[in-house]
Amino acid sequence: EPEVTQTPSHQVTQMGQEVILRCVPISNHLYFYWYRQILGQKVEFLVSFYNNEISEKSEIFDDQFSVERPDGSNFTLKIRSTKLEDSAMYFCASSEAASGSYEQYFGPGTRLTVT
Amino acid sequence: RKEVEQDPGPFNVPEGATVAFNCTYSNSASQSFFWYRQDCRKEPKLLMSVYSSGNEDGRFTAQLNRASQYISLLIRDSKLSDSATYLCVVRDYGQNFVFGPGTRLSVLP
């Protein structure tokens, strides 16, 4: 069964550093998403991406964040100048376009720890 | 502010019990509705979409009441493996998805 994959599973970085989180969405999916979940809190939408551009973004997704689809398979989230409060689990998800239901399938997540 | 609300629980039920969760959403223009389950420190997994006419998938039944802006999930004949946090998710517009805080379920032997 096709699945969304994410690397790395755990990333530790120092405050102020830049990190890139990587995702490989399901191959025939056309919508891609990033979410974050701070420990003990709810899942928060960051951004959605379609046709090589951002389709929606939340208030959380400010200039510190950017997304890119550098090739036909990867979808990345870059966080510049990380802060302690960026520590969270970051989930990538993808969904088909044609179904219209927008059912999303999530990757296993990258746990980001900023020290 | 657009919100999705859920009773955080925990709901502690014996195996074989029937349990129901509700979820309310604030945006009357919301367009799609889903239930996900999330195990501890794992990713959300799609349980089912929720359709206007209600829908069933095995032991799981989902209902949508647009007039009252709530969604429900009924689990019949609970199994130990049903223990998880159940997330109500609403698509507001376009590709903007709002997650509820989740309801924790523990099914006890």
State the pLDDT at residue A93.
96
Interface of chain A toward chain B, CB-CB under 8 angstroms:
31, 33, 35, 41-45, 48, 50, 55-56, 58, 89, 91, 101-109
Give the pLDDT mean for B87-103. Answer: 90
Tokens of B66: 């647009």
Per residue, what are the HEC states of chain B? CCCEEECCCCEEEECCCCEEEEEEECCCCCCEEEEEEECCCCCEEEEEEECCCCEEECCEEEEEECCCCEEEEEECCCCHHHCEEEEEEEEEECCEEEECCCEEEEEEC
Question: pLDDT: is A114 or B8 the higher one?
Answer: A114
Interface contact flag, A109 B43, Cβ < 8 Å: yes
Dist CA A21 CA A92 (whole Å): 9
Interface of chain B toward chain A, CB-CB under 8 angstroms:
32, 34, 38, 41-46, 49, 87, 91, 94-102
Residue among B89, B79, B88 nearest B9 (CA)? B88
State the pLDDT at residue A102.
78
Interface contact flag, A43 B99, Cβ < 8 Å: yes
Interface contact flag, A106 B101, Cβ < 8 Å: no
Give the pLDDT confidence of B9-41 residue by residue, as tens digits: 899 999 999 999 999 999 998 889 999 999 998
Strands B32-38 and B84-93: what pairing?
A: antiparallel
Interface contact flag, B43 A107, Cβ < 8 Å: yes
State the pLDDT at residue A38.
97
Give the pLDDT confidence of B43-86 residue by residue, as tens digits: 999 999 998 888 999 999 999 999 999 999 999 999 999 999 99
Contact A88, A43 (CB under 8 A): no
Question: Residue B15's Cα: distance from chain center in Å?
Answer: 19
pLDDT at A99 over 70: no
Is the previous residue joined to B10 through a cis bond, with omega within 30 degrees of 0?
yes
Q: Which of B97, B98, B99 should be substituted to probe chain A, the one whose Cβ sees the most A Cβ atoms within 10 Å? A: B97
SS3 A85: helix
- The count of residues in chain A is 115
State the pLDDT at residue B21.
95
Sign of CA dihedral A23, A25, A31, A36: negative
pLDDT at A101 over 80: no
